[in-house]
Amino acid sequence: MRVTEGDSDAALARRVRAGGADAFGTLVERYERRASLQALGIVRSREDALDLSQEAFVRAFRARHTLDPDRPFYAWLYQILRRLCFNFLRDAKAQGRLIEPQGPDWLVAIAHGTGADPLQEAERAEARRRLAAAIDALPAHEREVLVLKEFEELKYREIADQVGIPIGTVMSRLYSARKRLADALEAHR
């Protein structure tokens, strides 16, 4: 049976379990962007995020016999990805190796039409620049949750399920992250 783009994750997962490389390719295509952007939110370096998310897919394929088609595929993949990203940060720290982050450049302004007051726009741009630097400097576990909420627009329940923590912890990490960001915004006023 041929794989089509409309196949559900569960149908594809069943084929992947049976060794179907074409079904795996469809899952990679479906989740490559999401996985690499979410990895970027943790490791802050685009090259490393692409590499780690790719490695997550490779490991997922290798561990396909443990894949449960009745459970969400991406949540399973994210657990592998997250483990790789945190291990990467831990190893970099242990080896005293500096990760080369994109700098605040991995966060950009959403493009809007012009027309706003230039002075106000300059102030907003400055606030964004400061906030991007502050997000870049957050502890990884707080940045992870903040990125999933603010930039991936997941609900608390989805974040909790994906990261594997209680909703209360999602909210407290978000509060802590935003408090640090508020302090950073204020420190420069």
Partner 1 sequence: MNSADELDLDRAHALMMAVLDRECTDAERRELDALLATRPDLADDWSRLRRVKEVTMTMEIARPPEEVWDRYRRSALHRAERRIAWTLIAVGAGVLGATSLWLWIESWLASDLPLFVKVAMGSLMVGAALLIVSILRERWHLWTHDPYSREVER
Task: Catalog residues that contact partner 1 under the rule CB under 8 A.
Answer: 21, 24-25, 28-29, 32-33, 36-37, 40-41, 46, 50, 54-55, 57-58, 61-62, 82-83, 86-87, 89-90, 93, 102, 105-110, 112, 124, 127-128, 131-132, 137, 139-141, 147, 149-151, 155-156, 168, 171-172, 174-175, 178-179, 181-182, 185-186
What are the tokens at 27? 């899952």
Closer residue to partner 1 (CB): 14 or 178 = 178
| Smallest distance from partner 1 to CB 107, Å | 5
* Cβ proximity to partner 1, 58 vs 75, nearer residue: 58
Residue 52: what residue type? L
The residue among 42 and 70 lying less far from partner 1, judged by its C-beta, is: 42
| Contact indicator for 154, 146 with CB cutoff of 8 Å | no
Nearer to partner 1, 70 or 80 (CB): 80
Q: Which is nearer to partner 1, 8 or 87 (CB)?
A: 87
CB 75 → partner 1: shortest distance, Å? 16
What is d(CA 55, CA 24) in angstroms, rounded to the nearest whole number? 14
Cβ atoms within 10 Å of 167's Cβ, excluding its own: 13
Cα 127 from chain centroid (whole Å): 23
CB 163 within 8 A of CB 144: yes
Gap between the Cα atoms of 28 and 19, Å rounded? 15
- How large is the greatest C-alpha to C-alpha distance in the chain, in angstroms? 62
User: Closest separation between CB of residue 71 and partner 1, Å?
Assistant: 20
